[in-house]
Structure 1
Amino acid sequence: MQSTATTPKEYMDSLPEDRKPAMEKLRNVILENLPDGFQECMAYGMLGYVVPHSLYPAGYHCDPKIPLPFLNVASQKNFIAVYHMGVYGSKELYDWFVTEFPKHSKYKLDMGKSCIRFKKPDAIPFELIGELVAKITPEQWIATYESNLKR
């Protein structure tokens, strides 16, 4: 479900009432823990966190006009999703997250390559998401991205 919102505030305002508290808390946790240099925006109809062109002029290889994607958050039809490209691009980070998740949640991890799905808003391990977000600086993400791109 891609939103037509053009700003993060507009996106948050458009959410169903039952999703707003969890999405607001998730957004706040991300903003509080996101290393300096990343920028919040709307990307792909979701809240996006990117490496801006001012730090990485090359942009995203699929479309260089787009800043380098790092993290997206969306309220989908049946779940809240966190799309974390660092988990997809770094086996070490993926392994850390998979190991830590059961320590923070009584629910089974529902995860794709970069997508972490939460069917119940109260099942989001906010502290763990904060730790995950804080683990990669823009410079580290650029290095990981470029190393994977060259493969």
Structure 2
Amino acid sequence: MQIPATSVEDYISKIPEERQEVFGKFFKTINDNLPKGFQENISYGMIGWAVPLEVYPAGYHCTPGSPLPFMALASQKNFIAFYHMGMYAKPDLLDWFVAEFPQYSKRKLDMGKSCVRFKKMDDIPFELIAEVCKRMTIEDWIKCYESTIKK
């Protein structure tokens, strides 16, 4: 379910009212803890954070001329989705997150390649989200992207 939006505020205003407060807290947690340089945007029907073209002119190889995506946050039909491309591309970061998760949540980790799904709004481990956001700078992500994804 993509939400047509032109800004973060517009996006948040269009998600179900009962989810807006938690989603807003999730968004703020990412913004407050992400290293400097990433640019907030709306892309692929969700809120995203990317490497601006001014910093990385090569951009995203799958969509030439667009910023290099790094993280995203989306309100789906039955869950909130948190995407972190660094966990997809860097196995030690993924291993750290998977090992830490049980210390922050009573629930089983529901995760795909780069997507963590949160179905229960009262059990989102905001402290862990803050920590994983801090673990990769814009320079780290560009280096990782070039060595593991862009071939």
| TM-score class, shorter | over 0.9
Which residue is 1:119 aligned to?
Answer: 119
Q: Deviation per CA, 1:85-144, whole angstroms, max 9, x where unpaired?
A: 000000000000000000000000000000000011111100100100111001000000
> How big is the shift at 1:149?
2.8
Cα distance between partner residues in 1 of 2:23 and 2:100? 22
Count of paired positions:
151
Letter in 2 for 1:98: V
Cα distance between partner residues in 1 of 2:135 and 2:58? 23
Q: 2:97 touches 2:132 (CA, 8 Å); kept in 1? A: yes
Q: Deviation per CA, 1:40-89, whole angstroms, max 9, x where unpaired?
A: 11010100000000110000001121100000000100110001100000
Which residue is 1:18 aligned to?
Answer: 18
What is the Cα-based RMSD across aligned positions, in Å?
0.9
**Structure 1 stretches of 4+ moved >4 Å:** none
Which residue is 1:2 aligned to?
Answer: 2
Query: Which aligned pairs between 1:22-41 and structure 2 lie closer than 5 A?
Result: 22-41=22-41
> How big is the shift at 1:3?
1.2
> How big is the shift at 1:150?
5.1
Tell me, which stretches of 5 or more residues in structure 1 are unaligned? none
Please, what TM-score do these two structures have when normalized by structure 1? 0.97
Tell me, which stretches of 5 or more residues in structure 2 are unaligned? none
Percent of matched pairs sharing the same residue: 57
Letter in 2 for 1:20: Q
Q: 2:48 touches 2:71 (CA, 8 Å); kept in 1? A: yes
Q: 2:73 touches 2:80 (CA, 8 Å); kept in 1? A: yes
Cα distance between partner residues in 2 of 1:14 and 1:150? 34
